[in-house]
Structure 1
Amino acid sequence: MENIPLLTDIVILMAISVPISILLTRMGLPTVIGFLVTGVIIGPYGFGLVTEIGTVETLSQIGIVLLLFTIGLEFSITRMLSLRREGILGGGFQVGITVLVVFAVGILLGYPMQVSLLLGFIISLSSTAIVLKLLLDKGEVNSPHGNLSLGILIFQDLCVVLMVMVIQSIGGKGASSTIEIARGLGLSIIAFFIIVIAVTYLIPRLFNQVVKLRNREVFILTIVLVCLGTALVTSLFGLSLALGAFIAGLAISESEYSDQIVADVIPFRDTFSSLFFISIGMLLDFHYLISNLPVIIGVVIAIMAIKSLALVGVGQILKYPLRLSIAAGLNLAQIGEFSFILIKMGEDFGLLGESLYQGLLASAIITMAATPFIFQRSSKIALGVGRRLGRHARESVKKSSLSNHVIIVGYGVNGRNLARVLKETAITHVIMDVNMERVREAKSGGHKAVFGDASHPEIIKALGVDTAKMVVVAISDPISTRRIVKTARDQNPAVSILVRTRYLKEVEDLYRLGANQVIPEEFETSVEIFARVLRDYRVPGNIIQNQIDLIRQEGYAMFRNPSIAGERLTKLTAILEKTVMDTFYVDKGCMVAGKTLAALDLRKKTGATIIAIVRNGEARTNPPADYLIEDGDILVILGSHAQLNQAFELLNEKCPA
């Protein structure tokens, strides 16, 4: 009888994690907590149910690689370049400030300089896997605090290389000199850019060839090869596996295959990433945690306080609103997965004693476990604290003297296009954004633009909302959007408020808060998709517009009144099913040719209507009654199924084959 220990271990951990995750989900708690609890239960310090711990940890690393690969797929190189400010400046300040503070605290507590520096490195890193997963699940990756978090996390991952080299130099037997460290770091940076260029050039071309085979198995194997292969190559140059996978995802993010790749990878990603969180829980010595609980809780609070305050400071340096700085600080307050590598190195090199080693492990795991709970409340906490402490930000905007103007909140793609059109049509407008670079860009484009957070009542009041004709909110922060709508409505009951939102589920709340019009991206994307499909089938433009108007009228009415959504959806579906369009070619010898539409009288005889006639490749829509039909014309006919059948019977009688 075959005995496969790894298979037994995987079955055990899945059998325990599934019911725990179900229970926590019913309680409204994140599944990450269930995976961590599972790890504690089955690990060597729990019931010791798993024997192949090393193999499970290896599989968990594949989970991180796949997670970062899919995250890379959802971004673009252009967007990554736009985050250089958050990455280089934000990440540099965050890592530098945190390391310096922790180093100083370590020296004050009597730890040697090497140990204090190691503690600074460990605590400065945050969890890329946890934070990005939470941001993705909540749809906040593109929000301002999501951009700040992402930029800092990427910089931290790059810093892991330098940190490993420094630890090896201060703790390894073959200590490295400063010159050797600098040389190694320089080679790693050069290797990073070489890999980015090579991957960006090769991978899209590889997928172009694979897709031509039309073989799904080969396509999936190529995905795995690209993901794991790029991760392996980066690791050979001293960079992290996860960073290599992120680069691979980024390289094909702008290709037409990215959506299919994400769909194929997600099941593998979710399975293996769950193993990562379980393996983290397996490291925790529960007995040590219980016996030293007060001290560990104090350390956890100190760690999260230091990291949060450092990030708030970084946000203020980058001129982010205090509220967004606080939200990013709370979201990145945990110790990261790469810190476990540094902790293990510290133990191997004799820098960390057993007590300090277990204390760091316990503290790191608790900060990770607390992150989902903090994340759920971070926006509300940041909003409350920001309102109390952010008074200075309100003084930076002078009261506007404009009237009958448009206030544009957010200078992204939508805000930029709207501002350009308003400028060309000489409509007075003012732009507000929390990104200073965008404010400068708007000013250089000849627009009146100010920096600030429009969710503050004083800020939006200074924009002249009481005399404005319209407020257009086009930002990716749902909390701020709701607050801006409510504040604008409270200050000016007569102002027209138009809001762009990402998801249909937010529409009802925004209308309730006072928005006049809400445009959900999901819905408008679906409208654009079917409109383009109809254009490709050469459906006349007026018919497409009629369908668009019908869908929008019925659709937006459903959003405004969800209680009758089911009834209206049924009605809408029935309308669309009943209305059918078809074409009829007038061949030579057909008796229809030479007749006017009035003489044919198709509508009176069958109920169907000729809505357009295509002649020589050009469509004549809504042709008049005296329009003469000629050989070679294509009649575009609209009607129900029964009406079209009668119309085609009549036409076929006049046009025998």
Structure 2
Amino acid sequence: MRRPWLPLAITLLALLGGSARAAGDAPAFFTQLALLLVVSAGVAYVCQRIGLLPIVGFLLAGVLAGPGALGLVSDPELIDSAAEVGVVLLLFTIGIEFSLEKLARIQRLIFVGGGLQVGLSVALVALLALAFGVRLPEGIFTGCLIALSSTAVVMKLLADRARTRSATGQAALGILIFQDLAVVVMVLLIPLLGGQGGSPLDLVWALGKAALLVTGVLLVARRVMPRLLEAVARTCSQEVFLLTVVAVCFGTAYLTSLAGVSLSLGAFLAGLLVSESRFGRQALSEIMPLQILFSAAFFVSVGLLLDLGYLARNLPLVLGFIAAVLAVKGLTGTLAVRWLGYPVGISAATGLLLAQIGEFSFVLERAGREVGLSPLGLGAGGTQAFVAVTVLLLALTPLLAGAGERLEAARARSEPPRPVAPAAAQEGTHGGAELEGHVLIAGYGHNATHIASGLDLAGVRYRVLTLSPGGAQEAEALGRPVLRGDYTRNLILEEAGIVRARSLVVADDEPETAARTVLSARLLNKDLFIVARIAGEEHADALLRAGADAALSAERAGTLAALTELLRHHGLSDPEAARTAAQVFAPRESQRARIRLTEEQLASERCNHTAVTRAVLPEADGVCPECVALGDTWVHLRVCMTCGHVGCCDSSKNRHASAHFHASGHPVMRSLEPGEHWAWCYIDQQEL
């Protein structure tokens, strides 16, 4: 297909670059920043039109804008600074995705798998270099450059393809974390290789500082960060929340850099800090726009380094080096993951995914140049070859990742199922098993509580979305599944399963917020049935134009009508829907609320008996009826999640909860104590 606008766009960019060089009023940094944004936006659009992955497009944009082509960017140091911010923000968002508990599960991947991959890569490259007459120090130096992979590119690819929590994604993450730790040692090792000072004691001291600082960060994650973000969230100010999250990200990265740890690893640790808070998903949604912007700067900055003239003159040499790097990285990555017991398909896919050279290798190369080291001892020519190989391999990474996925799928079809090593256990999606055909309730106020009660009565699964700490705690106290976050943002709606949901109830009393939520939801799921709360009749038309199917008013009659329509949409007959909705408002003895297991408990693999549970109305309120009949006292109360029977715990004299299990066979009991949400399966002997 002919694209007549493409030459015109390139010409306009060239003219823009020339006019920018002639401009005298605008500050230099602003001119360069404007050019960066224009180039990035233009390339993103072109990539979208021709089906090219954005990462490759931004790399090509850097090549196009660099001094070897159009020369649009004349201040690469500014772009490098923006790129550094992009890497920090990218690793921060990746850290939020992984809690400390999840990382503990892949510690063998980090230290055994990562150690094997880095060690084998350095040793193999050094031996090959010796065979070609390269001195051992420069062979080890080259091995260090090649051993590192690109955390930014790999994690961005995995996130875009929703494979971060796959077995391949977690294997890659574990090895990348070790590589980032290894950078600390490599930076300290380079002066020793160059024969310019340093001692083993200096190395030990630097590593000790880094270990102490990392330990301190992890302690803060457990003790301080959840309370801090909870307090900030209670201000209900998005501005304050965003500033706090950015401060945590950059502050932690800076503190860790003081101990010689890379900024990217510090940012990853900052993400872990935030992940320990219940507001981690909200933090992710706030920071994501900044991360996208600055990550583009990183990929453009890498493209700026490529000298097209050198590449044209030395293409066979560069292609030979690319083949050698692919062989070394693919082999060592595959062997490292295979050693841990992963299937061949996953191991090979991980090896291909990590087969490029990383961004931190540029840092090492500059440090080596200062002490007289160069890739393979080839001087300036070796540096240019290293840059060309790195840029081209980064551009090829999406293709290598795709080849790895196909290989993994082919091996999975040709081999019988095999147990994967414990470290390889895959994580489910955030918040437990994926919901299907469920209801999302955006906002948790007076209307939402009635809607949730009606859904409980009908046995319809749902999830509450709210930014209010008080509302979230109230819902959780009733066993209702909650996701804390700003439901006007696509990321939070997608996290809640908007694509798989059948209905959405927007219970926010702010008309503008409700309208934005309806618009976002309708774009993400055109078949969604949407009920939106209106503050007055004058807002009804605006919400209906935004995409709502029905209006929810604050009055009891409006809530009753909306709930009836919602239940009808979820398969209840007209009489059943009307009767269930009416029960929500009917006076009940002692006004006890129905309770249910949380989504995490329902999805737990520890227990095979949650399917027999349901939302139950406890048969008693604050007492053990059987103890009362006996005239005895009790210690704690439990409720049967099959029939609602209330009995005392095993710490009590009569143990009526256990007696009920032995008499009825109902397996799962839940605590009825205030603030406690745990449950116990008598058959599996597991706490949920």
- Retained in 1: the 8 A contact 2:455–2:462? no
Q: 1:608 to 1:269 in 2, by over 3 A?
A: closer
Please state if 1:217 is matched with 2:239.
yes
Give the drift of 1:119: 0.8
Deviation string 1:424-471 (CA, Å, 9 cap, x unpaired) is: xxxxxxxx64234689xxxxxxxxxxxxxxxxxxxxxxxxxxxxxxxx
Q: 1:55 to 1:532 in 2, by over 3 A?
A: closer
- Counting only pairs closer than 5 Å after superposition, residues 373-392 of structure 1 correspond to structure 2 as 373-384=399-410
Q: 1:345 to 1:216 in 2, by over 3 A?
A: same
Q: Which residue of 2 aligns with 1:18?
A: 41
| Alpha-carbon distance in structure 2 between the residues aligned to 1:165 and 1:196 | 24
Q: 1:371 to 1:91 in 2, by over 3 A?
A: same
Please state if 1:166 is matched with 2:189.
yes
| Alpha-carbon distance in structure 2 between the residues aligned to 1:264 and 1:368 | 28
- Counting only pairs closer than 5 Å after superposition, residues 464-543 of structure 1 correspond to structure 2 as 521-523=434-436, 526-527=438-439, 537=449
SS at match of 2:290: helix
| Alpha-carbon distance in structure 2 between the residues aligned to 1:331 and 1:540 | 44
SS at match of 1:320: coil
SS at match of 2:436: helix
Larger mean Cα displacement after TM superposition, 51-60 or 537-546 = 537-546
| Alpha-carbon distance in structure 2 between the residues aligned to 1:381 and 1:295 | 29
Give the drift of 1:534: 9.7
SS at match of 2:460: helix
Q: Which residue of 2 aligns with 1:400?
A: none
Give the drift of 1:204: 3.2
Please state if 1:434 is matched with 2:346.
no
- Retained in 1: the 8 A contact 2:145–2:365? yes
Give the drift of 1:314: 1.4
- Retained in 1: the 8 A contact 2:138–2:193? no
Which amino acid in structure 1 is aligned with residue 60 of structure 2?
Answer: V
SS at match of 2:587: strand
- Counting only pairs closer than 5 Å after superposition, residues 327-338 of structure 1 correspond to structure 2 as 327-338=349-360
Q: Which residue of 2 aligns with 1:74?
A: 97
Q: 1:523 to 1:235 in 2, by over 3 A?
A: same
| Alpha-carbon distance in structure 2 between the residues aligned to 1:196 and 1:619 | 41
Please state if 1:365 is matched with 2:391.
yes
Q: 1:291 to 1:527 in 2, by over 3 A?
A: same
Q: Which residue of 1 aligns with 2:126?
A: 103
Q: 1:381 to 1:619 in 2, by over 3 A?
A: closer
Larger mean Cα displacement after TM superposition, 263-272 or 219-228 = 219-228
Q: Which residue of 1 aligns with 2:611?
A: none
- Retained in 1: the 8 A contact 2:43–2:61? yes
Give the drift of 1:535: 11
Q: Which residue of 1 aligns with 2:363?
A: 341
Q: 1:210 to 1:291 in 2, by over 3 A?
A: same
SS at match of 2:164: coil
- Retained in 1: the 8 A contact 2:221–2:272? no
Deviation string 1:349-404 (CA, Å, 9 cap, x unpaired) is: 2211001111111111111110012223321133346777x7xxx6xxxxxxxxxx
Q: 1:548 to 1:89 in 2, by over 3 A?
A: same
Q: Which residue of 1 aligns with 2:590?
A: 617
Q: Which residue of 2 aligns with 1:292?
A: 314
Q: 1:182 to 1:115 in 2, by over 3 A?
A: same
Give the drift of 1:520: 7.8
Q: Which residue of 2 aligns with 1:404?
A: none
- Counting only pairs closer than 5 Å after superposition, residues 5-44 of structure 1 correspond to structure 2 as 5-44=28-67
Q: Which residue of 2 aligns with 1:425?
A: none
- Retained in 2: the 8 A contact 1:99–1:124? yes
Q: Which residue of 2 aligns with 1:313?
A: 335
Please state if 1:190 is matched with 2:102.
no
Give the drift of 1:38: 1.5
- Retained in 1: the 8 A contact 2:206–2:259? no
- Retained in 2: the 8 A contact 1:13–1:38? no
- Retained in 2: the 8 A contact 1:141–1:147? yes
Structure 2 residues not aligned, in runs of 5+: 1-23, 464-496, 504-524, 532-543, 558-574, 595-688
Higher Cα Rg, which structure: 1
Please state if 1:84 is matched with 2:107.
yes
Q: Which residue of 2 aligns with 1:63?
A: 86
Equivalenced residue count is 478
- Counting only pairs closer than 5 Å after superposition, residues 624-643 of structure 1 correspond to structure 2 as none
Which amino acid in structure 2 is aligned with residue 296 of structure 1?
Answer: V
- Retained in 1: the 8 A contact 2:226–2:276? no
Which amino acid in structure 2 is aligned with residue 211 of structure 1?
Answer: A
| Alpha-carbon distance in structure 1 between the residues aligned to 2:346 and 2:272 | 26
TM-score (norm 1): 0.65
Tell me the C-alpha RMSD between the 2 structures.
3.9
TM-score (norm 2): 0.62
Larger mean Cα displacement after TM superposition, 180-189 or 231-240 = 180-189
Q: 1:228 aligns with which of 225, 229, 250?
A: 250
Which amino acid in structure 1 is aligned with residue 434 of structure 2?
Answer: E
| Alpha-carbon distance in structure 2 between the residues aligned to 1:95 and 1:540 | 52
Q: 1:577 to 1:293 in 2, by over 3 A?
A: same
Q: Which residue of 2 aligns with 1:512?
A: none
Please state if 1:124 is matched with 2:150.
no
